[in-house]
Amino acid sequence: MLLRPWLDHDRGHEVADLNTLLAWPNFGSVGHPMDQHGHPVIDDAARVPGALIEPGEFTRDDLHEACWEFLHSSLNSSVSSTNPLVKSLAILDAHVGAQRLKRIQSEDLHPLARAILEFRILAEDECRAPASTVKSS
C-alpha cells in the first residue's frame, strides 16, 4: 500500500504534496541528489513560481525522517536546522515564541518553511486579536 503524505492547514488548503511517486519522474530516482543537510538541491531559479515545494522534492521517507529528527532533537537544533521539513515543524511548535518567529523571518528560508512561518505568525496575530476583530472564512 502506498500512502501519500501532505501538509494542509485548518481551512483545508493543501500546502505541500510529499508524494514519493513524483520523485522518480522529476529527479530520476526516489533517492534524489541531496545536499549536505539532507534535502534536495533545487536552484531557486528552477522553482515553479508560487510553488512551496517542487513535485517529488520531498518524499514520505523524508517526512518520516524529519519527524524523527524533530522529536529527538532540541528545539534550538530544530529551529536552526537547514532541513526545511524539520525547520517547518519547529516553526509550528508552540514553544517557539513571537520574538523568535520575528528573528526567523529575516532568514533565507525554503519556500515551504517561509509559508509555514507566515501561517504561524498570522495564527498568532488572530489569537491575540480581540474576538470582534477576527475575520471568519
* Residue 33 contacts residue 27 (beta carbons within 8 Å): yes
Residues 6+ apart with CB under 8 A from 9: 15, 119
Q: How many CA atoms within 13 Å lie on the side-chain side of 31?
A: 0
Record the cell numbers describing residue 85, joined without a space. 521539513
Q: Each residue of 93-124: pLDDT tens digit?
A: 999 999 999 999 999 999 999 999 999 999 88
Angle at 97 between CA 92 and CA 99, to 5 degrees: 125
pLDDT band at residue 22 under the 50/70/90 scheme: confident
Residue 130, pLDDT > 60, answer yes
How many angstroms separate the CA atoms of 78 and 83, rounded?
9
Q: What CA–CA distances, in Å, run from 41 to 6, 36, 44, 58, 76?
A: 20, 10, 9, 11, 24
Between 71 and 53, whose confidence is greater?
A: 71
At residue 126, does pLDDT exceed 80?
yes
Whether the pLDDT of residue 37 is over 90: the answer is no
